Amino acid sequence: MPLIHDLIPVEHPEFARPGHADRHLKRIANTAALADAIIVNSRHTARALAPHVAARAVPPRVVVAPLGIDAPKAPAPALPLDPYFVVLGTIEPRKNHLLLLHLWRDLTARMGSRAPRLVVIGKRGWENENVLDLLERCGTTQGTVTELGQVPDREAWSVLRGARALLFPSFAEGYGLPLGEALKLGVPAICSDLPALREVGGDAPDYLDPLDGAAWRRAILDYAGPESPGRAAQLARMTRWTSPDWGDHFATVDRLLGSLAPGEAALSASGGWDMPRLAGAGGIVGGPPSPRG
């Protein structure tokens, strides 16, 4: 029984490494043909998967089990910057770093030292030459854009905790873990209006079109201010937000396993996965999802 994180390489091959779309499509086809049941992390992923499993005489059950959000109390913000924003995730075209870097070049040119700061957290991915050129060679943003690279979770949460907002202008997502992490830390988010992100964020974030640079500029300048009405409104909405929970995730998976193989315990007495017994019941196909990829 596999967990499918997303179908982005199939739905958006332009954002995948060359050849990855065909490999992912084969994975999905094999899963649809062989699995008794499939776990997905969001209703959005379930909808994307539906056409691929419909051809079977008895399609596999598809169960939505949102991933829990791990973001414990973080230490005090580690950066002496005020105000600053954070973008968190692998540097690849799908994440739309290019929009933010062009905005920051313009903001810095217009505002100089008064411009807010942008902190980029995440490893360098693929097909990102234009983004790397701006990070490495744009003299205008030296001092206003800081690239931290891939850092441990605790450090990332510490930096995020001090931000005016998480910026998440992605073009496609299967879940949206950084958004959940930000909200759990009490940090507002400005993000793309995508179905998967709305599943995680509910009505708390401000949702924008990832192509609407003018709207992103207005929101960033608003949130940068000490008396930002937009940020204050979101903080009020965040009091009603509920974090996805690992307990709920594994309870859903446990019920599914029990329905497929009565008598096989899905969880050990300690609450962890009992891998030998799961393997005996058919095993787990595929590995865990990339946490913020």
* pLDDT classification of 55: cutoffs 50, 70, 90: confident
State how far the Cα of 218 lies from the Cα of 1, in Å rounded to an integer.
Answer: 46
77 within domain boundaries: no
Say if residue 275's pLDDT is above 60. no
Using the 8-state DSSP alphabet, how is residue 94 labeled?
G
229 and 270 part of one domain: no
* pLDDT classification of 1: cutoffs 50, 70, 90: confident
DSSP letters spanning 7-71 = -HHHH-GGGSPTTHHHHHHHHHHHHHHH-SEEEESSHHHHHHHHHHHTTSSSPPEEEE-PPP---
Q: What is the pLDDT of residues 60-109, one digit of tens each?
A: 999 999 999 876 666 666 677 789 999 999 999 999 999 999 999 999 99
Nearest in space to 161 (alpha carbons), one of 188, 185, 190: 185
38 and 18 part of one domain: yes
Amino acid at 26: K
Domain that holds residue 119: 84-238
CB 95 within 8 A of CB 12: no
State how far the Cα of 184 lies from the Cα of 286, in Å rounded to an integer.
Answer: 28
Task: Give the H or E element holding residue 117.
Answer: strand 117-121
107 and 231 part of one domain: yes
Q: Tokens standing for 211?
A: 């192509």
Last residue of a domain, one of 238, 270, 288: 238
Q: Tokens standing for 227?
A: 């008396």
Q: Tokens standing for 224?
A: 């940068």
SS3 content of the chain, % helix, strand, coil (to 5): 45, 15, 40
CB 39 within 8 A of CB 46: no
Say if residue 287's pLDDT is above 50. no
Amino acid at 233: A
88 and 15 part of one domain: no
Per-residue confidence (pLDDT) for residue 261, from 0 to 100: 63
160 and 202 part of one domain: yes
293 within domain boundaries: no
214 within domain boundaries: yes
Least confident segment among 22-31, 249-258, 283-292:
283-292
88 and 214 part of one domain: yes
Per-residue confidence (pLDDT) for residue 6, from 0 to 100: 93
* pLDDT classification of 286: cutoffs 50, 70, 90: very low
Treating both helix axes as pointing N-terminal to C-terminal, what angle do 213-224 and 97-111 enclose, rounded to 10 degrees? 60
Last residue of a domain, one of 220, 238, 256: 238
48 within domain boundaries: yes
Average pLDDT over residues 18-38: 91
* pLDDT classification of 262: cutoffs 50, 70, 90: low
17 within domain boundaries: yes
Say if residue 20's pLDDT is above 80. yes
153 and 256 part of one domain: no
174 and 230 part of one domain: yes
Which percentage of the chain shows pLDDT scores above 90?
70
Contacts of 9 (CB under 8 A, 6+ apart): 15, 16, 20, 21, 23, 24, 25
Task: Give the H or E element holding residue 222.
Answer: helix 213-224
91 and 231 part of one domain: yes
Q: Strand 206-208's sheet: what is its strand order? A: 145-149, 117-121, 84-88, 166-168, 189-192, 206-208
Nearest in space to 172 (alpha carbons), one of 211, 120, 205, 134: 211
Per-residue confidence (pLDDT) for residue 212, from 0 to 100: 97
Per-residue confidence (pLDDT) for residue 72, from 0 to 100: 65
Counted domains in the chain: 2
Give me the CATH number covering residue 156.
Answer: 3.40.50.2000
- pTM for the model stands at 0.85
272 within domain boundaries: yes
Q: What is the pLDDT of residues 128-186, one digit of tens each?
A: 899 999 999 999 999 999 999 999 988 899 899 999 999 999 999 999 999 999 999 99
Mean pLDDT score of the chain, rounded to an integer? 86
47 and 18 part of one domain: yes
290 within domain boundaries: no
- Compute φ and ψ for 62, nearest 5 degrees: -115, 120
260 and 134 part of one domain: no
CB 43 within 8 A of CB 20: no
259 within domain boundaries: yes
Per-residue confidence (pLDDT) for residue 266, from 0 to 100: 39
99 and 231 part of one domain: yes
